[in-house]
Structure 1
Amino acid sequence: MTQAPSPGVAETRAANLVRLYEASSVAVLGASDNRSKVGSRPIALLNKYGFAGRVYPINAKRDDIAGLRCYPDLASLPEVPDVVVFCVPARDVPAAVADCAARGVAAAVIYTSGFGEMGEAGRAVEEELRRIGHETGMILCGPNCQGTANFHNGLVLNFTSALMGERVPAGSIGLVTQSGLVGGLIVTECLNRGLGIGYLSSTGNEAGMTLSDAIGHMARDPRIRVVAGYVEQVRDMAAFRLSVEEARRNGKPVILLKVGRSPDAARAAASHTGSLAGAAELYDAAFAAMGVVVVESLEELIDLTMVFATVRHRPRGSGVGVLTNSGGLGVFSADEVFRQNLTMASFSDETVARISARLLDFGAAGNPVDISTQAYTDVDAVAAHIEHICADPAVDIVSVTFGLQFLNAEPLAEHLIRIAGQTDKPLLVSWISSDAKAAQRMQEAGVGTFSDPARALRAARRLADFAALSGAPVSVTDGEALRPGPTLVRALAENHGEIGEATMLAALAEIGLPVPAMRRAAGPADAAAAFAAMGCAAVVLKIDSPDIAHKSEVGGVRLDIRSAGDAEAATVAMLDAVRALKPEARIDGVILAEMVQGGTEAFIGVKRDPVLGPFVAVGLGGIFVEILKDVVLRPAPVSVAEAEAMIGQLKALPILKGARGRPPLDVRALAEAVATVSRLAAACPALAELDLNPVLVRAEGQGVVVLDALASVAPAPPP
């Protein structure tokens, strides 16, 4: 994780980030009038988009470029520019960046590739660029990026070919991307749908400006309504969380297409930008906790970007009112409402009566409304039907679908535009194989228009989900920071790689988690003495080894030991069996633990990612946890309320709640244990992994008991 800059540098950096997007002067290092070279694009695009500031081409071999005086070097300029665009070979970049920083340049946009993505030597040079930015507060966009663009003021410093054709209108969409080409594709698709763009930022290798910086700036700009982008990895999860939280507070969704989910894709992402990505399931958990809207295709990314940019009102619930010009499309839409876990709104009698009054005899006035061919003969009546649906108090989202609508298409489109502007509910239009001119008119007027009602209703689901989020901080934990007890502090300091059950259970007891009475025994005779000293009716005998995670698979667990003699005999048999199967394992003896019964086995775990930080997991426990994979992850720490929400997402929730007449279990106590473990994970950076399995969840009011635990210690950092 990147170390935070000093307060003074942080303030300078924040001001320089604004100057990157609101510059008054730009210098282009390596400017060219050869259209085949990237150095020609910044000046051409600044002219095309009407940038009103001062532009200085730098090229020692030319007197002028594009009608502008050319300068031999940075020192020759009549002023220190706000931004310098780098279109020079990689070998010339470090010295020029240092020169810019020394002169007080606010930001550098470095198109040049050949740094961290090329291997160890490139990473070393890139690290030097990062150091300069960190120490001075200068913003470094790139290297290996396509640059930034602010379409509101014409400061277009992104060289994607998507900007060379049709002029991009300024609008309410902020785009961030870690792939320049993908950013260009998103721009093109936005243009195809008549959408205006406020910002485009391609961050590349992120040596001195990250995805989080761009999101944060867009979150603060009142002209931006939605932030969307393509992500391979998040380099600083803490900064990312703050940016997303700021966007949420301002009512702006952050929609991301996250790639690198498969091992092969993750390797490709690493070679693309020279940085490792975190595990896919951890990204999913982190994004879900923050309220990031994650999509799985470019099509869905554009769909949701369009909807959030154009729909002026968020739904108050999940009730959907549907109108179509075909009974078949109505059934299809109702099925999709069900698949998206939305609800078909129950129209009031008044709504049904008003629709029936002007509906064709062979139409259907209930939800979904089937207008049949009425749009061919009476578009005013169709508009009235839609208005009645919008007015129904049970309706939160309105979905209208028209197929093969050519006759009266334009007047119908005008009605839809008018209604969308008047209603306080989202109106989503599916326009299937119908008049293209009318579709374009609706898109240009800001009406969310789709070619498939399934896509429209998927977008409706995301609208409802985002509307349900509060503006509260992403995570609020309970109580003060947790301090680990002496047992865990000592074990982490010794760092033997693994912390076995006996030590870990003792450490958990020190932070208030219930564990069974327990004794360790080096051999058979000690086991007999330990049983006698414990005074329990029955104990569980377990192998004591930090090298064996799954004890039951090697015969390392014996239940219901009820005498000292049984304990001695069982120890002999267990040690022989385990040593035969695991001769390489370090075996410290056996553990005798009070046998606790009654309840259901759960699992609580911790995993720390070097990029994303610590996560806590909860799920159904026992020997099947890895097979069933019924586990929910969240970034640590979490509050008890958040832990309860995690448990609520488990498929096994009915078991915990008391399925088939069984008594409900103590879900609250399980949530409290999850929250405590999450705080432990946040407090102990050396704790790489932790498995509490099983955790016995007892009847409601009787709490939980941690029956087994094993931890992994992170390798010590190099000196």
Structure 2
Amino acid sequence: MTDAATSARQALRAALSPRSIAVIGASDNEHKIGGRPIAYLGRHGYAGALYPINPSRPEVQGLRTYADLSALPEVPEVAIVAVPGDGAIVAADQCAQAGVKLVVMMSSGFGEVDAEGKRREREMAARARALGMRVVGPNSQGLANFGTGAVLSFSTMFTEVAPQDGPVGIISQSGAMSVIPYGLLRQRGIGVRHSHATGNDCDVTVCELATVVVEDPALRVLLLYLEGVPDPWHLAEAAAIARDRGLPIVALKSGRSAAGQEAAQSHTGALASEDRVVDAFLREHGIWRVQDMRELVDAAELYLKGWKPRGRRLVAISNSGAVCVLTADAASAAGMPLEPLSAGTQAELRTILPGFATTTNPVDITAALLTNSRLFSDILPPIARDPAADAFFVGIAVAGAGYDVPTFAADTARFAQATGKPIVVAAPQPSVAAAFKTHGLSVYATEAEAVGALGQYLSHAELIAAAQARRPALPSPPRAVRPAVMLDEAQSLAWLAGRGVPVARHMLCADEAQARRAFETLGAARVVVKGCTGDASHKSELGLVRLGLQSAEAVAAAYADVVAAASAAGVRLGGVLVAEMVRGERELMIGARLDPVFGPVVLVGDGGKYVEAMPDAEVLLPPFDAAQVERALRRLRIAPLLDGVRGDPPLDVAAFCDAAVAVGALMLDDAAGVTQLDVNPVIVRERGQGCAAVDAVIFHSR
């Protein structure tokens, strides 16, 4: 890291525990934006110097005020700007000139409003950076670190829901989404240390702030709300630090739909990246992406248990047959198999449970629990010893009066401690749930919520382990996407062949005689004749393709037809390709482009002419290896076809994966200048017989 970068990062660390703070626009009313941070700082134990700046009052909230920055006894490390309009920009400029390390700009009316506002905040940030100052915001609700008392925020939530320092951190581009999970976690009794809202991200982004928040040794899980990922290289850095610390990161990224992306742009001006690229990036770096706020919060407490999961086989226990069935459904959806307990375990359970109970898995202890409170404690030890058990679910569908619920809860807690394995409880009755929560167990209202949270936790543990083993490279800021020209098919195939991608044998012809000789030279049973042009990527629609030709005469006639069709369509030809008609078992595709945010991305999936109408593809971020490509293929809907079905032979997946790796290397090569390519179809033969690209389009910037 350069000296400038180190200094910039130090400013972010200072914001989490500043020695001194100025509040520009300080208010005596603690319910106003300029007053609430002062109240919070006093209320939550901030021990540094606090300087309210308000030239019209001698004091605010019992503190002496100052007319301006120059009147302060020292240069504050951090300043809060809570004045409107152009006054906010003036204040930020004055702070930069005075040597303030970081400004939290709460003022709004900038990039979240219009393009002019975006320009103004961008220019303000540039002036600040030139003088060594960082800017959080504008349109920021503020930063809050309850571990140090540095609550530089005006959120009402901290008044409504009492803070408690704890092991969870939250960073969000949205003010509301920095405190909604805070409120939900506090309702569960979970303490939150960090609750930060970066607003418009004109300088300091969620991703960059995460690089210093993950350094906090008290943190055990970090939750992110993202409307865009403007600097994935910072998020990758944060993820690498977090993996080394064993700190999981869970992200809620909005804007999955076109409507959601439009809303995100109007809210914070966030750049809406293609959603599947975001998925691929987060997966690559071990960050778990959730779909909604419930998923963001529900599993949070499971990350705090200190479990070391070794598998995902679930054993379910309930006093309701219906809950057993619903749990099996939920476990199947979460990819958590309910394998039958061993014959020995089942035999032991049958000596304990009534004859009408179920002892396989799920274990239904039935309503007999009402008359024999020992049933629960008696069945837990043999289940704990069973090799099919990686994790446990306990569902108490109905209990209360007549049931020894405190004993059930205590027995479950001892069971959990003895096994050291993940366990969740579902108890819809508040009194029953409270008994289990008293013993520190994770309790949910329904089996779907409990199993869903457990499934997320176990899946994320596997994702982190895979990323840790792979140790993905930290991406650099993407190179600018320069204007590019489309190469014709012959040129595109030559580029691919030069990079190790197998291509169909072909010859470029300038007249009918050459076309005849090409047919004879190739010696293929059938050939294809195609117009070779850099003017059109979809040639079939223009009548520039003839298939299945079996004689030199047919090839010559096709040559003439293609030339005539090109003339009629106004398409310039660089020649006509005669290529072998490759036979194989499946058409797949490889695509790639330079994403303006994430850099090179590669797409692999089902190919052919319906690739756009029925997309079935996965995104990979180079560099990647063949094993990663195969894992991506195994996530496709067509994955069962790879190994052959109904008598079809298995495909040469290895050959296709090697071709995709070669494309990934090409996209990483800045000197090559490739900005986009489509290789569709790639004909994949049966295992051991290879593959061949039969059509390709490359866009090149040089």
TM-score, normalised relative to structure 2 = 0.92
Q: Is the 8 A contact 1:171 1:197 kept in 2?
A: yes
Q: Is the 8 A contact 2:84 2:107 kept in 1?
A: yes
**C-alpha distance 421-51 of structure 1, shift in aligned 2 (>3 A):** farther
The answer to whether residue 20 in structure 2 is matched with residue 25 in structure 1 is yes
Hey, what's the Cα distance between the residues in 2 that align with 1:383 and 1:157?
50
Deviation at residue 281 of structure 1 after TM alignment: 2.0
TM-score, normalised relative to structure 1 = 0.90
Which residue, out of 462, 475, 486, partners 1:498?
486
The corresponding residue for 1:342 is 336
Once the two structures are superposed, residues 552-593 of structure 1 have per-residue CA deviations (whole angstroms, 9 ceiling, x without a partner) of 33332223334443222111222334554xx24443342112
Question: Aligned runs of 1:39-50 on 2, under 5 Å?
Answer: 39-50=34-45
Question: How many residues end up aligned between the 2 structures?
Answer: 692
Which residue, out of 407, 426, 446, partners 1:452?
446
One-letter amino acid of the counterpart of residue 640, structure 1: A
Q: Is the 8 A contact 1:174 1:226 kept in 2?
A: yes
Q: Which consecutive unaligned segments of at least 5 residues does structure 1 have?
A: 1-5, 482-491
Once the two structures are superposed, residues 303-354 of structure 1 have per-residue CA deviations (whole angstroms, 9 ceiling, x without a partner) of 1223223x32032111111111211111111122122221113323454355
The corresponding residue for 1:691 is 678
The answer to whether residue 691 in structure 2 is matched with residue 704 in structure 1 is yes
Partner SS state of residue 228, structure 2: coil
Which residue, out of 538, 557, 561, partners 2:549?
561
Hey, what's the Cα distance between the residues in 2 that align with 1:45 and 1:380?
51
The corresponding residue for 1:600 is 586
**C-alpha distance 222-477 of structure 1, shift in aligned 2 (>3 A):** closer
Deviation at residue 444 of structure 1 after TM alignment: 6.5
Question: Aligned runs of 1:116-135 on 2, under 5 Å?
Answer: 116-135=111-130
The answer to whether residue 239 in structure 2 is matched with residue 244 in structure 1 is yes
The answer to whether residue 554 in structure 2 is matched with residue 539 in structure 1 is no
The answer to whether residue 462 in structure 2 is matched with residue 465 in structure 1 is no
Once the two structures are superposed, residues 145-174 of structure 1 have per-residue CA deviations (whole angstroms, 9 ceiling, x without a partner) of 111111112211122211112312111111
Q: Calculate percent identity across the aligned residue pairs.
A: 35
Hey, what's the Cα distance between the residues in 2 that align with 1:443 and 1:570?
77
Hey, what's the Cα distance between the residues in 2 that align with 1:656 and 1:353?
41
Hey, what's the Cα distance between the residues in 1 that align with 2:327 and 2:120?
55
**C-alpha distance 660-206 of structure 1, shift in aligned 2 (>3 A):** same
The corresponding residue for 2:499 is 511
Deviation at residue 504 of structure 1 after TM alignment: 0.5
The corresponding residue for 1:3 is none
Deviation at residue 421 of structure 1 after TM alignment: 4.3
Question: Aligned runs of 1:6-21 on 2, under 5 Å?
Answer: 7-21=2-16
Q: Which consecutive unaligned segments of at least 5 residues does structure 2 have?
A: none
Hey, what's the Cα distance between the residues in 2 that align with 1:144 and 1:375?
56
One-letter amino acid of the counterpart of residue 521, structure 1: C
Q: Is the 8 A contact 2:426 2:447 kept in 1?
A: yes
Deviation at residue 393 of structure 1 after TM alignment: 2.9
The corresponding residue for 2:617 is 631
Which residue, out of 420, 423, 438, partners 2:419?
423
The corresponding residue for 1:100 is 95
The corresponding residue for 1:281 is 276
Once the two structures are superposed, residues 509-567 of structure 1 have per-residue CA deviations (whole angstroms, 9 ceiling, x without a partner) of 11122223322234445534554565656432012223332333333222333444322
Question: Aligned runs of 1:189-200 on 2, under 5 Å?
Answer: 189-200=184-195
Question: Aligned runs of 1:185-224 on 2, under 5 Å?
Answer: 185-224=180-219
One-letter amino acid of the counterpart of residue 568, structure 1: A
The corresponding residue for 1:333 is 327
Deviation at residue 110 of structure 1 after TM alignment: 1.1
Hey, what's the Cα distance between the residues in 2 that align with 1:577 and 1:569?
12
Once the two structures are superposed, residues 197-231 of structure 1 have per-residue CA deviations (whole angstroms, 9 ceiling, x without a partner) of 12111111112211112322232222111111221
Using the TM superposition, name which of 64-73 and 375-384 deviates more.
Answer: 375-384
**C-alpha distance 496-295 of structure 1, shift in aligned 2 (>3 A):** closer
The corresponding residue for 1:52 is 47
Which residue, out of 262, 269, 281, partners 2:264?
269
Hey, what's the Cα distance between the residues in 2 that align with 1:104 and 1:416?
58
Hey, what's the Cα distance between the residues in 2 that align with 1:418 and 1:146?
44
**C-alpha distance 510-471 of structure 1, shift in aligned 2 (>3 A):** closer
Using the TM superposition, name which of 395-404 and 382-391 deviates more.
Answer: 382-391
Once the two structures are superposed, residues 427-446 of structure 1 have per-residue CA deviations (whole angstroms, 9 ceiling, x without a partner) of 101111x1x25534644764
Which residue, out of 52, 55, 66, partners 1:71?
66
Hey, what's the Cα distance between the residues in 1 that align with 2:202 and 2:472?
32
One-letter amino acid of the counterpart of residue 576, structure 1: A
The corresponding residue for 1:488 is none
Q: Is the 8 A contact 1:290 1:474 kept in 2?
A: no
The corresponding residue for 1:314 is 308
Which residue, out of 132, 147, 151, partners 2:146?
151
Once the two structures are superposed, residues 231-256 of structure 1 have per-residue CA deviations (whole angstroms, 9 ceiling, x without a partner) of 11000112212212322332222211
Question: Aligned runs of 1:172-183 on 2, under 5 Å?
Answer: 172-183=167-178
One-letter amino acid of the counterpart of residue 24, structure 2: L
Q: Give RMSD over aligned pairs.
A: 2.7
Once the two structures are superposed, residues 68-104 of structure 1 have per-residue CA deviations (whole angstroms, 9 ceiling, x without a partner) of 1111111222222222111111312333223323333
Hey, what's the Cα distance between the residues in 2 that align with 1:442 and 1:53?
41
Hey, what's the Cα distance between the residues in 2 that align with 1:197 and 1:476?
29
Deviation at residue 383 of structure 1 after TM alignment: 3.5
The corresponding residue for 2:539 is 551
The answer to whether residue 288 in structure 2 is matched with residue 302 in structure 1 is no
Which residue, out of 35, 57, 62, partners 2:57?
62
One-letter amino acid of the counterpart of residue 324, structure 1: S
The corresponding residue for 2:630 is 644
Hey, what's the Cα distance between the residues in 2 that align with 1:65 and 1:440?
44
The corresponding residue for 2:573 is 587
One-letter amino acid of the counterpart of residue 448, structure 2: A
The answer to whether residue 253 in structure 2 is matched with residue 258 in structure 1 is yes
Structure 1 segments (4+ residues) deviating >6 Å? none
Deviation at residue 411 of structure 1 after TM alignment: 4.5
Partner SS state of residue 550, structure 1: coil
Once the two structures are superposed, residues 488-514 of structure 1 have per-residue CA deviations (whole angstroms, 9 ceiling, x without a partner) of xxxx99x66322211110111111222
Hey, what's the Cα distance between the residues in 1 that align with 2:307 and 2:501?
46
Hey, what's the Cα distance between the residues in 2 that align with 1:578 and 1:89?
62
**C-alpha distance 412-24 of structure 1, shift in aligned 2 (>3 A):** farther
**C-alpha distance 585-48 of structure 1, shift in aligned 2 (>3 A):** farther
Deviation at residue 60 of structure 1 after TM alignment: 0.9
Hey, what's the Cα distance between the residues in 2 that align with 1:537 and 1:411?
79
Deviation at residue 358 of structure 1 after TM alignment: 4.2
